[in-house]
Amino acid sequence: MRANHLLRLCVLFVLVGAVTALHYTTNTSLDEFHDIYRRLYYLPIVLGGIWYAIRGGVATSLLISILYAPHVIFQWGHHPATNLEQYLEILLYNAIGLLTGVLSAREQAQSMRYRKTAERLEESYSRLREQADQLLEVEEQLRRADRLSALGELSAGLAHEIRNPLGSIRGTAEILRDGIPADSPHQEFAAILIKEVDRLNQVVQDFLDFARPGKIEAGRVDLNQMVDEVLALSGRMLQKSRTELQVDKASIPCCRGNAEQLKQALLNLVLNAMQAMPDGGILRVTTGQKGNQLFIAVSDSGQGISAEMQNRIFDPFFTTRHEGTGLGLAISGRIVRGHGGRIDVNSEPGQGATFTLSLPCSESME
């Protein structure tokens, strides 16, 4: 801005000085040239008014009047017939300078009003956009609440109608298994029956865990210790699946929450990562802190997740595995949201996936 200001001043002084020099160096007998020179003075006057409003226009016209007046008095004094015209020209210089400055000031004020109006419109648009995003989020929460309400009512009936018969079936299967000789081929069928009953019971349990509103009993949670406990629980499965484990834990403070619920959420993420690598791979678990957020990142080297699937993986019963229930990630998402946190997914097809569990690091839950 300063360089632009200096450049404009230089242009005005050069124009005024050049025209004045032409007046004083040109013989008065060449009156047609002096007529042209007088008109040339209007150029810096108009520029001064446009660039610096009233002050610029008036200051430039006054400067020209001061420089031009001696030329009229001393060099044109022997031509009385032309004095009146030249004095009138000086008055016109000042009138044009004032008029140009006034018009420029009005235009600048109008531009400033337009700019402020545009800024207010931009602010209003930003607020409307934020409010629209909030409405969409509230709408999604309402839809999720409706689904949970329906699941809660249905789960109560399922708990009574399915789990009790499952207990009877399992007890009967155990009795039959105990009555079959150990070397009998039917022993395997009894074991399969018990295993499938347990799997079906786990499906019902997952369904109930997701549908039942969880009560958070807050306590101090050490996320690094929780990572160790979850990895210890899944250690045998990691070995069987030929998965290489990499752990990078930072020194982070404790947070407030329900340790068992958060452990379940993290375990679901670890199991999901292992299932994404059926032929083995690298599982990396990282803890850290960003601002007022603590995070646990679980990364796998599997096939990755498409953008379309990323928008659905936390929906209940959405799964890409034949044996899956589609409730693991949904349960993790519900638990973390209940703690005031969130789970983000970063993945590209063929390049693995990273699930980042973020929680507020303040020890008081809001």
Residue 124 inside a domain? The answer is no
Residue 79 inside a domain? The answer is yes
Same domain? For 98 and 192 the reply is: no
Same domain? For 225 and 347 the reply is: yes
Residue 134 inside a domain? The answer is no
* H runs (alpha helix) in 212-277: 223-233, 235-240, 259-275
State the pTM of this model: 0.48
* pLDDT tens across the length of the chain (366 residues): 678 888 888 888 899 889 888 888 888 778 788 788 888 888 998 988 888 888 888 988 899 888 888 877 776 655 555 566 777 888 888 888 888 888 988 888 888 899 999 999 999 998 888 888 888 887 777 776 666 666 666 666 666 567 677 777 888 888 878 888 877 877 788 888 888 788 777 777 766 665 555 555 678 889 999 999 888 888 888 888 888 889 999 999 988 888 888 888 898 899 888 888 888 889 999 999 998 899 999 999 888 888 777 777 777 666 666 555 566 787 788 888 888 899 998 888 888 899 999 998 865 444
Handedness of CA 314, 283, 295, 351 (dihedral sign): negative
Could you read off the pLDDT of 161-191 as tens digits, one per residue?
A: 676 777 778 888 888 788 888 778 777 888 8
Up-side HSE of residue 353: CA atoms within 13 Å toward CB?
A: 22
pLDDT given for residue 323 in this prediction: 57
Same domain? For 206 and 227 the reply is: no
Same domain? For 260 and 159 the reply is: no
Q: Which amino acid is at 318?
A: F
Under DSSP, is residue 341 helix (H, G, I), strand (E, B) or coil? coil
pLDDT given for residue 195 in this prediction: 82
Residue 132 inside a domain? The answer is no
Rounded Cα distance between 102 and 45, Å, is: 13
Same domain? For 175 and 259 the reply is: no
Same domain? For 207 and 223 the reply is: no
Q: What are the b/e assignments for 235-254, b being 16+ CB within 10 Å?
A: eeebeebebeeeeeeeebee
Closest CA to 294 of 263, 254, 260, 265: 254
Residue 317 inside a domain? The answer is yes
User: Residues 6 or more apart from 258 whose CB is under 8 A from it?
Assistant: 214, 216, 217, 218, 219, 221, 339
Same domain? For 223 and 196 the reply is: no
The whole domain housing 182 covers 144-211
Query: Of 104, 119, 134, which closes a domain?
Result: 119
Same domain? For 74 and 200 the reply is: no
